A and B are shown apart, each in its own frame.
Chain A
Amino acid sequence: ILNVEQSPQSLHVQEGDSTNFTCSFPSSNFYALHWYRWETAKSPEALFVMTLNGDEKKKGRISATLNTKEGYSYLYIKGSQPEDSATYLCAFPGSGYSTLTFGKGTMLLVSP
């Protein structure tokens, strides 16, 4: 089973703060790195699929960067809002066809 590590495990910030968290993955045989957001009582939602070293993707106030050579990706949230409260998951292709191995997630709580 591949090792996908996320840190921190949880984070509590105030509204308006900017924050970031990390996903570490095996740097050999890279194909893609996925980020998902999972809000309570909803289904996980894909944020980004990143495939190129140095890639940077943006969706509103959320952005992500990718370093495939050293095996990490950062997710940034600028000016956090309470609606950003969720668990953020990263995932790396698993050993099976089209499968993903998920990290345990970073749980973000944004207080008003």
Chain B
Amino acid sequence: DVKVTQSSRYLVKRTGEKVFLECVQDMDHENMFWYRQDPGLGLRLIYFSYDVKMKEKGDIPEGYSVSREKKERFSLILESASTNQTSMYLCASSLAGLGSNQPQHFGDGTRLSIL
């Protein structure tokens, strides 16, 4: 089974801090994704990566950056955390596929609170 591991289940940080969320997958997947989930808004894509050192903006990239130095690891960075970034963050991975016909495999999520 694919295992996607997020470094923390719960995290509390202060406004203005630089925050790192880490995600590791063990199935040699090419694609990795970061989402946030907010009540009433569903899952929204922040950034994705289809290869090492490659990154693409998703629907809501403002205030975030990402890093993919190794194939198995995809990091989400909040450059200067703000209270509106309090959310549940989910990482996912998938094989490369034509027209997104590969399922995505998700981590357990990190519930991040910015005070």
Q: Is A89's CB under 8 angstroms from B43's CB?
A: yes
The B29-50 residues at the A interface (CB cut-off 8 A) are 31, 33, 35, 40-45, 48, 50
**Which residues from chain B contact A16 at a C-beta distance below 8 Å?**
none
Contact A43-B106, Cβ < 8 Å, known A32-B101, A97-B56: yes
**Which residues from chain A contact B50 at a C-beta distance below 8 Å?**
97-98
Bound complex: CA A94 to CA B100 (Å): 8
**Which residues from chain B contact A32 at a C-beta distance below 8 Å?**
99-101
* Of B13-21, B68-76, B79-87, B90-98, the one touching chain A: B90-98
Q: Is A31's CB under 8 angstroms from B107's CB?
A: no
Q: Is A96's CB under 8 angstroms from B56's CB?
A: yes
**Which residues from chain B contact A89 at a C-beta distance below 8 Å?**
42-43
Q: Looking at chain A's contact residues, is the secondary structure mostly helix, strand, loop, or mixed?
A: loop
Q: Kindly report which residue of chain B lies nearest to residue A94, judged by CB atoms.
A: B45
The one of A43, A51, A93, A103 in contact with B90, judged by C-beta atoms closer than 8 angstroms, is A43
Q: Is B99's CB under 8 angstroms from A31's CB?
A: yes
In the complex, B63 has a CB within 8 A of chain A: no
Contact A100-B104, Cβ < 8 Å, known A31-B98, A32-B99: yes
| Interface residues of A, count at CB 8 A | 25
Contact string against B for A residues 18-60, beta-carbon threshold 8 Å, 1 for contact and 0 otherwise:
0000000000000110101000001111100101000000000
Q: Is A44's CB under 8 angstroms from B90's CB?
A: yes
**Which residues from chain B contact A43 at a C-beta distance below 8 Å?**
4, 90, 106-109
The one of A44, A46, A98 in contact with B97, judged by C-beta atoms closer than 8 angstroms, is A98
Using CB atoms and an 8 Å cutoff, list the residues of chain B in contact with chain A: 4, 31, 33, 35, 40-45, 48, 50, 56, 58-59, 90, 92, 94, 96-109
Using CB atoms and an 8 Å cutoff, list the residues of chain A in contact with chain B: 1, 31-32, 34, 36, 42-46, 49, 51, 89, 93-94, 96-105
- Apart from A31-B101, A43-B108, A97-B50, 20 more pairs, CB < 8 Å: A31-B98, A31-B100, A32-B101, A43-B106, A44-B90, A44-B92, A46-B103, A46-B105, A49-B103, A89-B42, A93-B100, A94-B59, A96-B48, A98-B50, A98-B96, A98-B100, A99-B33, A100-B100, A100-B104, A104-B41
